Every structure is written in structure tokens, then in C-alpha cells.
């Protein structure tokens, strides 16, 4: 069985740059091209200007949330999961069946969810 991640593109959104960079490193080590954003406008630009295979996003940013980005991803058919430290139940009510990677996360959790997202296309 071939690994589903090499050659894919991911959007990672986290307002904590070091956390986003850690996720980027995990995915990049598996051959994924990563677009790393720290705020909604930057993430929206990446989504508009690039093909995105899947996204891992924090729900709550410093001064806002990724609610509108989440809706755009869902409407665009881009599979995504939340990688967040809070509000898992609320997110699952808003987006039934959504995967949530709780913080602190492991490399294994990131790769399992990313693989599941691309396998479900």
C-alpha cells in the first residue's frame, strides 16, 4: 500500500507560529507541500490562489476564529480537521463528523488525521 501524503498540498492555520511550524515540519517530512498561515486573511489567500488537498486548522485565533474559513473549506469540498486546544464539542456540533486533533498533539496523530483526510476524498 502506498502512503497517501507525498505530493499533496496542505493548508495549516495556527496563530502560534511555532505550533504551525511544527505541524508543517511533520507534514513536509512526508512529502507534503505546506502553506502555513497565522491569520484568516492569509489562509484565505492561500486557499484562493492554490490547490489545497486538505487543511489542519486551529479554531480559535488570537483576535478571531476560523469559523468563516471552515465554512469556505466545507463549501469548497476541501477536507479539513481542527487542531485545537478547546471547543471540540462545539466544533463537532457545527461540523458533524469533523475530526479534532487535541493539543498537545503527537506526530502520529497529525499523520493519521492527514492520511484519513486525503483517503476520504
Instruction: Return the pLDDT at 46.
Output: 96
pLDDT tens, 10-46? 999 998 889 999 999 999 999 999 999 988 889 999 9
Report the b/e string of 43-81 with b at 16+ CB within 10 A. Answer: bbebbeeeebbbbbbbbbbeeeebeebbebbeeeebbbb
- Specify the pLDDT at position 80: 94
In percent, how much of the chain has pLDDT > 70? 94
Q: What's the pTM value of the predicted model, to 2 decimals?
A: 0.91
CA 8 to chain centre: 13
Cβ-based burial of 110 (10 A; exposed 0-12, middle 13-18, buried ≥19): buried
Domains annotated for the chain, with CATH where assigned, are: 9-119 (3.40.50.2300)
Q: Is the pLDDT of residue 52 over 90?
A: yes
pLDDT for res 24: 97
- Residue 2 has a pLDDT of 56
User: What per-residue confidence (pLDDT) applies to 68?
Assistant: 82
Q: Give the pLDDT mean for 36-59.
A: 92
Amino acid at each position: 500500500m502506498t502512503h497517501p501524503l507525498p505530493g499533496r498540498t496542505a493548508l495549516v492555520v495556527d496563530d502560534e507560529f511555532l505550533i504551525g511550524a511544527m505541524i508543517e515540519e511533520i507534514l513536509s517530512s512526508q512529502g507534503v507541500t505546506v502553506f502555513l498561515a497565522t491569520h484568516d486573511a492569509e489562509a484565505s489567500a492561500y486557499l484562493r490562489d492554490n490547490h489545497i488537498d486538505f487543511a489542519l486548522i486551529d479554531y480559535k485565533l488570537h483576535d478571531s476564529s476560523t469559523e468563516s474559513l471552515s465554512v469556505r473549506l466545507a463549501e469548497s469540498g476541501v477536507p479539513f480537521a481542527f487542531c485545537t486546544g478547546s471547543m471540540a464539542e462545539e466544533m463537532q456540533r457545527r461540523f458533524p463528523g469533523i475530526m479534532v486533533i487535541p493539543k498537545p498533539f503527537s506526530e502520529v496523530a497529525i499523520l493519521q488525521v492527514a492520511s484519513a483526510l486525503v483517503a476520504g476524498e
